[in-house]
Amino acid sequence: MSRPRAAITALLAPVLLLGLAPPGAVGVDAPAGAGLLSDGFESGNTLAWDQRVPPLPVPDVFRFSDLDLRDPHVFVDVPGFGCLDVTDAAPPIGPSVNEQLETAVTTDDDGDGLLDLSLLLGFRPFSATAAGERLDAGLGDCPEPIGSTVCDWRIPPVPRTTRYDAPPAGACLQPHPGTTSGYTPGITTPFAPCVVSQPALVPFRLFGQTFELEAAQAGAAFLPGPVSTLSDGLFLGFLPEAVADTILLPPDLPIVGGQPLSILFPGGAGNCAPGDDRDTFEAESGWWLYFNYPADVVPFVGQ
């Protein structure tokens, strides 16, 4: 599977082992370009600028309230059971990947007082008619419980800045042609009214390790009127195989502990699946990762 890198250049953050009651709704349209920075986001660093003219709008922040990996699937060679797809079906050794993702997004399993994985989209501001408006994306620190959480950016890594649009009709975001493998359930696509980020390089957190996904985008639908929830969300980004080979799974993880992340995906070294889900993006071998998600407005105390 392959796709040329054309005009795609780099947005957002999830985990593989990795909801909330909205405090209010957003959706008052802002004038085009409001709060955008004069340097054209050349650093990609949300918080890097000390001089802001005009002052940045307070962001309308949405937090992913669930996360489901749709493509590629994760395969593990389980002793006594053979090569199993553990993406949605729980293996004999524990919960499925998507069950673990849900747990990480909604609970504090490590006991540090924070929800284990918080992925934030900060619209400045949210606009149902956006055309090139500012969007910040990154990891968040959001205390438990999920129903009353108040979020801030988690730094490091620094959140990334891109732009977003609200197309008046049609699909906001779809998988790149030739980069999916027909798994069930399929990938949900958001349709207008919806918002979609422009491609960006963004932090991505997986098994306690943080790295960057290339050409990442997030898109989601919303209902007309004040917006407190995003639905049918699609998050995608490219994970180079060379990067996946350097990310080691936790040593206490059953069967694959201490192995490179790439062992989980078909085509990766040591993966047990008979197929090969690797893609090519700007001459790099790797995987386009596709996740579906919903997101809810959360109170935000950062900048």
Q: What is the pLDDT of residues 54-92, one digit of tens each?
A: 667 779 999 999 999 999 999 999 999 999 999 998 888
Contact 228, 220 (CB under 8 A): no
Q: Report the distance separating Cα 59 and Cα 76, nearest Å.
A: 41
Contact 16, 207 (CB under 8 A): yes
CA distances from 35 to 19, 40, 129, 197 (A): 29, 11, 16, 17
What's the pLDDT at 209?
73
What's the pLDDT at 41?
43
Dihedral sign (CA 281, 62, 164, 41): negative
Calculate the CA 75 to chain-centre distance: 21
CA distances from 113 to 107, 110, 119, 162 (A): 9, 8, 16, 30
Which tens digits make up the pLDDT trace of 218-267? Answer: 999 999 889 999 999 999 999 999 999 999 988 888 899 999 999 999 99
* Residue-by-residue pLDDT tens, the chain, 303 positions: 544 443 333 333 333 333 323 334 554 444 333 333 444 444 455 554 444 556 677 799 999 999 999 999 999 999 999 999 999 988 887 899 999 999 999 999 989 999 999 999 999 999 999 999 999 999 999 999 999 999 999 998 889 999 999 999 999 999 999 999 999 999 999 999 999 999 999 887 776 677 889 999 999 999 988 999 999 999 999 999 999 999 998 888 889 999 999 999 999 999 999 999 999 999 999 999 999 999 999 999 988
Q: What pTM was computed for the model?
A: 0.84
Q: Report the distance separating Cα 237 and Cα 216, nearest Å.
A: 4
Structure tokens of 48?
Answer: 């890097």
Q: Report the distance separating Cα 174 and Cα 13, nearest Å.
A: 18
What's the pLDDT at 250?
86
What's the pLDDT at 40?
42
What's the pLDDT at 212?
86
What's the pLDDT at 144?
95
Would you call 81 exposed, middle or buried from its count of C-beta atoms within 10 A (0-12, 13-18, 19+)? Answer: exposed
What is the gyration radius of the CA atoms in the chain, in angstroms? 19
